[in-house]
């Protein structure tokens, strides 16, 4: 995508600021190509080194990326808040949104009654000195983690899983350090790693989680941290098995000071057992979010880990936000204690599993390979241009996500979220996907 936007400036700082202003104002949208270094240097009358330094600054901040022969381009989701476009374009009402990646709002627990119970508990304002993890939350959290075999020598609370990951990475790493991330992996995490100026090292993932060979390769590449999704991996649905977790733990014994971060974002919705890596290394953290089972607006995650790791996060939290709202913590306590809420979450997990397995079966019956052992998503590898497939499916009434948002070195794919997929739509969707891929393959063969 070539965009006509005049970058200006005579120093690296001014040039990078000009590019950021273009991104912020929407004049340099995602995917827009920046001029080659020597071309822009000639236009601005500066040295190529000045432009190269500006581009390096933008890369370190995650605003742009180098795309090989395609040159330097604006990242799909740069960490610059746009001033005019605050939200992605809405999906038309006649198109089924299978791209959003969110839980089904109809299956989330109702918050009215738990909120009323919380209101009766909050009789006095919480002061600065008394904020922090609630003892009631900590007690319940320790019991829930212990039931899943997760040790918790220390525990704190963060504003969601990604907030916890960011605090862990900034506490242990510095810009330029390497971090192993799943490939394909969570788009938000890939964007965060870029925004922090860290170097992403691809960690291959199959249905059983990160591969043993991939982990060995990442450690050999000198990573300072490894981030693993325990189950319901986004976008592939991978889940660590007992044997894979044991194999990875053996590899990690020789990892030295490498930080291992586990993300159990789906928690009770995962519908498969948890086989944690917690405690396999000297420095580790295990995160469990409340957002997927109980609602995206509940920005709270438990962070268990070794003493030094948790102390760094808790200490940095005190210097900034201070603590996660105790009102929110009380609400999570009420949700955890409510048997009716637990039943609602169990029904949601079962519903997602039925939808996901039905779609996998329907795709397989039509000769389409797909992955999705757990969670909300199905990953469909394709031998075609992602944009063409996404646009054709959208024209047919289905919005799916392009795999480019989630992958580093893995081949093209699309991600289908099943949370809004009705069972009555499964066969038509699978047939449409199969027909679309067949048509693109046939047309490509004819053009040769």
Clarify whether residues 24 and 57 are in a common domain: yes
At 84, the pLDDT band (50, 70, 90 cuts) reads: very low
Alpha helices for 76-173 (secondary structure H) = 112-121, 135-147, 161-172
Q: Kindly report, residue by residue over 25-69, the tens digit of the pLDDT.
A: 888 988 889 999 999 999 999 999 999 999 988 988 888 888 766
In Å, what is the CA distance from 92 to each residue of 89, 249, 397, 416? 9, 46, 9, 17
Q: Examine residue 85 and state whether it is found in any structural domain, yes or no.
A: no
pLDDT at res. 324: 93
Among the candidates 272, 302, 337, a domain finishes at: 337
Among 80, 18, 86, 109, which Cα is nearest to 295's?
109
Is the model more confident about 379 or about 122? 379
Q: Is the pLDDT of residue 190 over 70?
A: yes
Are 272 and 373 contacting, i.e. CB atoms less than 8 angstroms apart?
Answer: yes
Domain that holds residue 435: 96-105+345-447
Q: Which residues of 313-325 are buried (b: 16+ CB within 10 A; e: fewer)?
A: bbeebeeeeebbb
Provide the total of helices (H) and of strands (E) in the chain, helices listed first.
15, 15
Among 413, 402, 404, which Cα is nearest to 363's?
413
Clarify whether residues 266 and 325 are in a common domain: yes
Clarify whether residues 64 and 190 are in a common domain: no
432: left (phi over 0), alpha (psi -120 to 50) or beta: alpha
Q: Kindly report, residue by residue over 172-182, the tens digit of the pLDDT.
A: 999 889 999 99
Q: Examine residue 218 and state whether it is found in any structural domain, yes or no.
A: yes
In Å, what is the CA distance from 396 to each residue of 95, 96, 320, 431? 8, 10, 47, 11
Q: Is the pLDDT of residue 81 over 70?
A: no
Its pTM stands at: 0.86
The separation between the first and the last C-alpha atoms of the chain, rounded to the nearest angstrom, is 25
CATH number of the domain bearing residue 47: 1.10.10.10
State the angle between helix axes of 339-365 and 426-447 in degrees (0 to 180), rounded to the nearest 10: 40
pLDDT at res. 1: 57
Among 248, 272, 250, which Cα is nearest to 262's?
248
Clarify whether residues 283 and 134 are in a common domain: yes
CATH number of the domain bearing residue 370: 3.90.1150.10
Clarify whether residues 118 and 266 are in a common domain: yes
What SS3 state is found at 188? helix
Q: Examine residue 4 and state whether it is found in any structural domain, yes or no.
A: no
Q: Is the pLDDT of residue 97 over 90?
A: yes
Q: Examine residue 87 and state whether it is found in any structural domain, yes or no.
A: no
What stretch of H or E contains 425?
A: none
pLDDT at res. 128: 81
Q: What is the DSSP string of 198-229?
A: PEEEEEEEETTEE-HHHHHHHHHTT-SEEEEE
Count of domains for the chain: 3
Among the candidates 293, 316, 337, a domain finishes at: 337
Q: Examine residue 101 and state whether it is found in any structural domain, yes or no.
A: yes
Are 73 and 64 contacting, i.e. CB atoms less than 8 angstroms apart?
Answer: yes
Q: Examine residue 6 and state whether it is found in any structural domain, yes or no.
A: no
Q: Is the pLDDT of residue 392 over 50?
A: yes
Q: Examine residue 84 and state whether it is found in any structural domain, yes or no.
A: no
Q: Examine residue 79 and state whether it is found in any structural domain, yes or no.
A: no
**Average pLDDT in the 125-135 region?**
85
Among the candidates 278, 308, 337, a domain finishes at: 337
Clarify whether residues 258 and 183 are in a common domain: yes
Using omega within 30 degrees of 0 as the cis cutoff, is the peptide bond preceding 354 cis? Answer: no
Q: Tell me how many degrees the CA angle 179-369-263 measures, rounded to the nearest 5.
A: 30
Clarify whether residues 332 and 370 are in a common domain: no
Among 104, 107, 102, 18, which Cα is nearest to 57's?
18
Report the distance separating Cα 404 and Cα 426, nearest Å: 24
Clarify whether residues 380 and 266 are in a common domain: no
């Amino acid at each position: 995508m070539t965009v006509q936007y005049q970058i200006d400036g005579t120093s690296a700082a001014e040039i990078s600021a000009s590019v950021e202003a273009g991104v912020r104002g929407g004049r340099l949208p995602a995917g827009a190509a920046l001029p080659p270094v020597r071309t822009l240097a000639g236009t601005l009358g500066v040295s190529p080194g000045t432009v190269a330094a500006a581009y390096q600054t933008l890369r370190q901040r995650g605003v742009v990326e180098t795309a090989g022969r395609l040159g330097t381009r604006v990242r799909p989701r740069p960490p610059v808040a746009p001033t005019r476009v605050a939200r992605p374009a809405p999906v038309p009402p006649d198109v089924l949104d299978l791209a959003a990646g969110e839980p089904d709002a109809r299956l989330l627990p109702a918050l009215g009654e738990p909120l009323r119970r919380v209101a009766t508990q909050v009789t006095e304002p919480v002061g600065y000195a008394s904020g922090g993890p609630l003892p009631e939350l900590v007690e319940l959290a320790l019991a829930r983690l212990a039931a899943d075999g997760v040790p918790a020598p220390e525990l704190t609370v963060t504003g969601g899983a990604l907030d916890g990951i960011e605090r862990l990475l900034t506490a242990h790493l510095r810009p330029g350090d390497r971090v192993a991330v799943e490939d394909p992996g969570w788009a938000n995490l890939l964007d965060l790693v870029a925004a922090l100026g860290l170097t992403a090292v691809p960690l291959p993932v199959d249905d059983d989680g990160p591969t043993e060979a991939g982990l060995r390769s990442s450690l050999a590449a000198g990573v300072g941290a490894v981030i693993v999704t325990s189950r319901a991996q986004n976008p592939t649905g991978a889940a660590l098995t007992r044997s894979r977790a044991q194999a990875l733990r053996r590899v990690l014994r020789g990892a030295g000071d490498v930080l291992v971060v586990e993300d159990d974002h789906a928690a009770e919705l995962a519908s498969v057992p948890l086989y944690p890596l917690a405690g396999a290394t000297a420095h580790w953290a295990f995160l469990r979010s409340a957002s997927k089972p109980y609602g995206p607006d509940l920005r709270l995650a438990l962070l268990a880990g070794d003493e030094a790791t948790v102390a760094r996060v808790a200490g940095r939290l005190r210097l900034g936000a201070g603590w996660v709202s105790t009102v929110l913590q009380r609400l999570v306590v009420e949700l955890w204690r409510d048997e009716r809420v637990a039943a609602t979450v169990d029904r949601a997990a079962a519903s997602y599993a039925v939808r996901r397995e039905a779609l996998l079966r329907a795709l397989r019956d039509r000769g389409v390979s797909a992955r999705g052992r757990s969670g909300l998503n199905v990953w469909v590898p394709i031998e075609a241009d992602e944009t063409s497939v996404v646009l054709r499916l959208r024209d047919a009434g289905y919005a799916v996500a392009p795999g480019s948002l989630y992958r580093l070195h893995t081949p093209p794919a699309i991600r289908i979220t099943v949370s809004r997929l009705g069972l009555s739509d499964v066969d038509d969707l699978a047939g449409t996907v199969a027909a679309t891929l067949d048509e693109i393959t046939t047309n490509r063969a004819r053009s040769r």
